[in-house]
A and B are shown apart, each in its own frame.
Chain A
């Protein structure tokens, strides 16, 4: 498998529960991004890693969200005390560090539904 892999593909959770998503980027890619997308909107930036360093986190992200990339390979995104407004598609993307004009490859996403 040479693409970006995300698990699970779908997650239904009750409000107030914690959830964790996993992203496995393309193996030689050292940049990894998390985005959130709701219906009718473009992907919204959440956070960005270069290797294991989290270089930027969106101001829109509350303290309930945390992301890690402990060994510079796979990444996890955790949402604590989920709210109905967290329902969305969570997309992970990766790219090589070869300059500005580099293509980002997306995984198929994890669709979260908070009930």
Chain B
């Protein structure tokens, strides 16, 4: 089983639609959670962190369910400019004694917003 799993898509949606992405992670000791956005042939960039209480940033809402080890991202009123790959990222404590951590990425979910 992969450490972080996402539906690869693509999700093709019309402009203005609401779309939801899901992600599951396997390590229950994971410490923090993020959604990154990656445009074609570009580097990943942080979209938002994900908190247990859920958090919202404009049209974007992220939620975390630690019991189910599940993370979601909701995009409302989607725009053409939202077309990108959305990467679910989990920060897991590394095996090194004394600390350290690593960011583990899912395969990404591709979103295409169409006119």
Q: A residues within 8 Å of B by Cβ?
A: 33, 35, 40-45, 48, 50, 55-56, 91, 93, 100-101, 103-104, 106-109
Contacts and interface: CB of A to CB of B under 8 A. Distances in A.
Contacts of B95: 56
Contact of A42 (B34, B102, B108): B108
Contacts of A44: 105
A56 B107 contact: no
A108 B8 contact: no
B63 to A, nearest CB: 16
Contacts of B91: 100-101
9 contacts: A33-B102, A40-B8, A42-B105, A44-B105, A56-B96, A100-B91, A104-B46, A106-B45, A107-B43
Contact of B94 (A40, A56, A107): A56
Interface size class of B (residues with CB under 8 A): 20 to 34
Given A48-B101, A91-B43, A103-B34, 16 more contacts: A40-B8, A42-B4, A42-B105, A42-B108, A45-B104, A45-B105, A50-B99, A56-B100, A100-B31, A101-B49, A103-B46, A104-B46, A104-B103, A106-B43, A106-B45, A107-B43
